Amino acid sequence: MTRLLDIPPSDWPSWFEKKGLEAFQGKIASRQVFQKGVYSWELMTDLPIAVRNRLQQESPLTIANLEKVHKADDGAVKVLLAFPDGARVEAVGMPGTKGRTLCVSSQVGCPVRCTFCASGLDGLERNLAPSEILEQVFSLRETQGDFGRLVVMGMGEPGHNLDAVLKALDTLIQPAGLGMSARRITLSTVAPKGTLPALAAWGRPINLALSLHSPEDNLRHELIPGVRLRGVRETLDEADHLFGRTGREYTVEYVLLNEVNDAVEQAKSLATLLAGRRLHINLIPYNSVSELQFKRPSRERQLAFAEVLRNANLSVTLRRSLGGEEEAACGQLRRRSAPSVRP
Ligand code: SF4
């Protein structure tokens, strides 16, 4: 079955024509979906009922069930979507000064198995199609209204499903789609081999959030064991090259793990490595996950680490953690709701 949402909205008129329908009906459909937020053929009353019935049979617009909604005290709302094959993904809407930020998943589970992450505990179940990434956006938009920014930062490593992720982002950016500015989209990646050069070749000015977590190659490979990574310095050089293509400064994401990567000496090594590069550093105090042994550093350790970087004239944010309750930590909702997922 062809999922219409896997096709760029600019091609919907020709897809309708190939089905023996009218091209203008394809334009009506894309306007209804992306501009008006109508996600069901049944509700698309601008189209004849016979066309709607046929499309519902042959190519349903959305196929996921909204299985669970979790509201955290800090205003973050997490949704759990279930697809017909049993795969479950989560997506989050977070409040912010410039409107809500939506956080979507790129895979079911994750092959990267970062040792501090709940999503990595079960490994990869499968990749998501572009339509399944877009369905997360639609579900959050339906439950929480319009949004200002989108981050691909949920379950999964976008670099391992890059074709599908970029197709979904293209749909959001296209004028016939959501018409969203690429500058309001951020892709977070550990940068498996080939990812940053591929983003540079794609060339859209989205923002890069590079998950670094260590200034040292060995520790970084220990923390992020599941993929073939470049060395830390080479990875940063590739990110610099991407900045040269898109003109977008990137963010280095660094999860602070107590007595693992949060020592003042490690902050000094990081400062040396990052000196002279155009970037911002986002320090993220770890959110506890009961299955894992890592701990959040004390506030004193967090501040001392940030201070070293600031003293080296680097731009640093020490993040207030959204979704800080354990239930809302990365990967938790899916794990607790899906006892049948692979061990
Ligand atoms: S932190 Fe990201 S890349 Fe690492 S296992 Fe979790 S979801 Fe995957």
* pLDDT over 70, % of the chain: 93
- In whole angstroms, what is the distance from residue 216 CA to residue 270 CA? 8
Q: Which two tokens stand for residue 137?
A: 């956006």
Q: Which of 103, 104, 113, 114 most suits a substitution to test ligand 1, by most atoms within 8 Å of the C-beta? A: 114
* Domain-wise residue ranges, the chain: 4-58, 65-337
With a Cβ cut-off of 6 Å, ligand 1 is lined by 110, 112-114, 117, 119-120, 155-157, 190
Whether residue 123 has pLDDT greater than 90: no
> In the chain, which ranges are E strands?
65-71, 77-82, 88-94, 101-104, 107-109, 124-127, 149-152, 185-189, 207-211, 250-256, 279-285, 315-318
Whether residue 272 has pLDDT greater than 90: yes
Which position has the higher pLDDT, 114 or 333?
114
Mean pLDDT value across residues 110-138:
90
| Residue (of 136, 134, 194) closest to 170 by Cα position | 134
Nearest ligand 1 atom to alpha carbon 157: 3
For ligand 1, the distance from its centroid to the CA atom of residue 224, given in whole angstroms, is 8
Q: Which of 103, 110, 117, 330 is catalytic?
A: 330
Q: What is the pLDDT of residues 32-74, one digit of tens each?
A: 999 999 999 999 999 999 999 999 999 999 999 999 998 888 8
CATH architecture of 4-58: Orthogonal Bundle (1.10)
Whether residue 325 has pLDDT greater than 50: no
Question: Does 325 qualify as catalytic in the annotation?
Answer: no
Top-level class of domain 65-337 = alpha beta
* Residue 321 pLDDT: 53
Mean pLDDT value across residues 286-294:
82
Question: Does 90 qualify as catalytic in the annotation?
Answer: yes
Number of neighbouring beta carbons within 10 Å of residue 309: 21
